């Protein structure tokens, strides 16, 4: 049994400095209050990945690739709706990560 419990174990596993998003990433999340985002929250991670791939600069994408696993990025693409994407962005990232959104639309 681990000598760490609860919050202590989470602190060891989670890089808290990752919560401080660089300005060039915050720009991609313009419709969100980035000061309240918590990247230990799966929903916030999903939003971050989706928005950086859709709207991010080269610097933002580089940051994303350094802080998120390829598996998590692929899973985000798969779990997303095609309508959440810019057509050119999803075409490009689908080629790069060899996956596509499994859902066509929220209403289909």
Q: Among 10-24, 32-46, 69-83, where is mean pLDDT lowest?
A: 10-24
The DSSP 8-state label assigned to residue 104 in this structure reads: S
Residue 16 has pLDDT above 50, yes or no: no
What is the structure's pLDDT at 5? Answer: 45
What is the structure's pLDDT at 82? Answer: 93
> What is the reported pTM?
0.80
Task: Report the candidate in 50, 72, 70, 71 with the shortest Cα–Cα distance to residue 60.
Answer: 50
Residue 18 φ then ψ, to 5°: -70, -20
What is the structure's pLDDT at 18? Answer: 55
Task: Determine the Cα–Cα distance for residues 77 and 57; give it in Å rounded to an integer.
Answer: 18
The whole-number average pLDDT for the span 8-18 is 42
Task: Report the candidate in 30, 108, 84 with the shortest Cα–Cα distance to residue 100.
Answer: 84
The whole-number average pLDDT for the span 45-64 is 97
């Amino acid at each position: 049994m681990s000598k760490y419990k609860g919050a202590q174990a989470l602190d060891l596993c989670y890089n808290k400095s990752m919560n401080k998003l660089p300005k060039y990433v915050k720009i991609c999340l313009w419709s969100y209050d980035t000061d309240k985002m918590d990247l230990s929250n799966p929903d916030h991670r999903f939003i971050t990945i989706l928005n950086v791939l859709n709207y991010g600069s080269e610097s933002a994408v580089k940051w994303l690739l350094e802080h998120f696993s390829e598996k998590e990025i692929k899973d985000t693409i798969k779990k997303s709706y095609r309508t959440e994407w810019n057509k050119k962005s999803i075409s490009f990232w689908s080629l790069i990560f060899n996956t596509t959104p499994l859902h066509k639309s929220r209403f289909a």
